[in-house]
Amino acid sequence: MSNGTDYFADPLGGLDDNQWDEMSRGRFYSSAFWLRLCALEGGAVFGGLHVDLPRGGRAAVPVMAVGDDPHPNCRWGDLLAARGLPSPPGRGILVGQLRGYQAYLLASEGADPATVAARLLAEVRSAHPTVPKDATARVALYLTTPDVLALREAGVRAMPVLLATDAWIEVPPGGWDAWLDSFGSSHRVRRILSEVRRFDQAGYRVEHRTLSEAYADVARLAFQTEQRHGKADSIDPYLEGFRLQGKFAGARAEVLLCAYDDGPPVGCCLYYRDGDTVYLRAAGFDYHRLRGAAEYFNLCYYAPARLPGVRWMHAGIETPDGKALRGATLRPLWLLDLSGDSVLERCGDEVRAHNAALRAELAGASPAVAAALRTEMWETFF
């Protein structure tokens, strides 16, 4: 390493949890807890790159060393190929974490963002991962717009590639009733209340458990959902993964289960709560036994929205239409090639065209999605 630090010694690069969380304030998916939880999964070499700042304090980013057989969530080449764009080499350092689809530049409170971006960019480029010597790529996945802008100001010449929308649902201080009032659409409110009523009339009972208590049900239901979409062929990794996650997380990993007739649960929602924000992590259903009562939206949106003190729900990427209809704001997430000589530097027009086409496709999905995209975060890279 450029400063002699083994950034891949552990998921925090040798810092303790308090030192790391002094920089990750309010960014759950960059917290020490979450990074250590991700490392339980294996499939990558995890680290934490950190630097001292000239006027005191630190800056940091979670990183992963990517070798010949990267975890599916680390394959930036696949993401770029799917968009018809060239890719840097497949081996190198990924800036971001394995799970969560949300990466940030972290720093001590009061640090200058321009200095933070410049110091971290230099350190990322000079760091040597614990993979072969030709691991030259430096790629950040699922960066937010402010950090993309800061890194571009720091010297990154590649155009950022739009990857996905990040859905955030605000619950006003008045809770459930205030949330419904915030829609400003009687049709949308009637739809939600109808879905709640159908769920109640279907005879479901909802139980609140920890993941450590309910990991077997969560694994079974999540596997059935993934299998339905052609993404899983064995339940064993789900059982072991959720067991380990539940053991590590304890009471922080919370589960809502729904069932009827004293039978096993037919649906689940796994979430983490951090302050006033609920982070929705996983859902699963036994589709053959559901009663057609909007089980997904009731478990994953309406029940969390009614939890005391909740002001935000983070719903992540994918299915933007259903999230926008329930009040989500959709923020962009980007791939940014941090390499000093990026192949994406030479195809800025193609990247802009992709970004514009994907945004147009999203906006064309429904009026609700088009409205949810109207934030200042979208205007720069088209």
Q: Are strands 277-285 and 312-316 parallel, antiparallel or unpaired?
A: parallel
pLDDT at position 375, please?
77
Residue 377 has pLDDT above 90, yes or no: no
H helices of 174-302, in order, are 176-181, 186-201, 211-228, 236-249, 295-297
pLDDT at position 93, please?
94
Residue 143 has pLDDT above 70, yes or no: yes
Q: Which residue has the higher pLDDT, 130 or 81?
A: 81
Residue 361 has pLDDT above 60, yes or no: yes
For 5-28, how does the pLDDT look when each residue is reduced to its tens digit (9 = 90+)?
789 999 999 999 999 999 999 999
DSSP string, 118-168: HHHHHHHHH---SS-TT--EEEEEEE-HHHHHHHHHTT--SPPEEEEEEEE
* Stretch 341-351: mean pLDDT: 95
Q: Are strands 312-316 and 161-170 parallel, antiparallel or unpaired?
A: antiparallel
Least confident of 1-5, 74-78, 123-127, 284-288: 1-5
> Could you give the 3-state DSSP secondary structure of residue 170?
strand
Averaged confidence pLDDT in the chain: 94
pLDDT band (50, 70, 90) for residue 323 = very high
Residue 130 has pLDDT above 70, yes or no: no
3-state helix, strand, coil in the chain (%, to 5): 40, 25, 35
Residue given tokens 């059982």 in the structure block? 239
How many residues belong to the chain?
Answer: 382
Could you tell me which residues come within 8 angstroms of residue 9 by beta carbon, excluding any fewer than 6 positions away? Answer: 47
Dig out the tokens for 261 from the structure.
């007739």
State how far the Cα of 158 lies from the Cα of 163, in Å rounded to an integer. 15
pLDDT at position 348, please?
95
pLDDT at position 233, please?
85
pLDDT at position 133, please?
66
- Say what percent of the chain tops pLDDT 70: 98
Q: Return the exposure string of 120-155: e unless at least 16 CB atoms fall within 10 Å of the residue's CB, then b.
A: bbebbbebebebeeebbbbbbbbbbbebbbbbbebe
pLDDT at position 336, please?
98
Phi, psi dihedral angles at 92 (to 5 degrees): 160, -145
For 38-68, how does the pLDDT look when each residue is reduced to its tens digit (9 = 90+)?
999 888 899 999 999 998 999 999 999 998 8
Dig out the tokens for 60 from the structure.
């940091």
Kindly report the pTM of this predicted structure.
Answer: 0.95
pLDDT at position 4, please?
54
State how far the Cα of 136 lies from the Cα of 138, in Å rounded to an integer. 7
* Stretch 229-245: mean pLDDT: 92
Residue 1 has pLDDT above 60, yes or no: no
For 189-211, how does the pLDDT look when each residue is reduced to its tens digit (9 = 90+)?
999 999 999 999 999 999 999 99
State how far the Cα of 316 lies from the Cα of 301, in Å rounded to an integer. 12
For 266-300, how does the pLDDT look when each residue is reduced to its tens digit (9 = 90+)?
999 999 999 999 999 999 999 999 999 999 999 99
Residue 2 has pLDDT above 70, yes or no: no
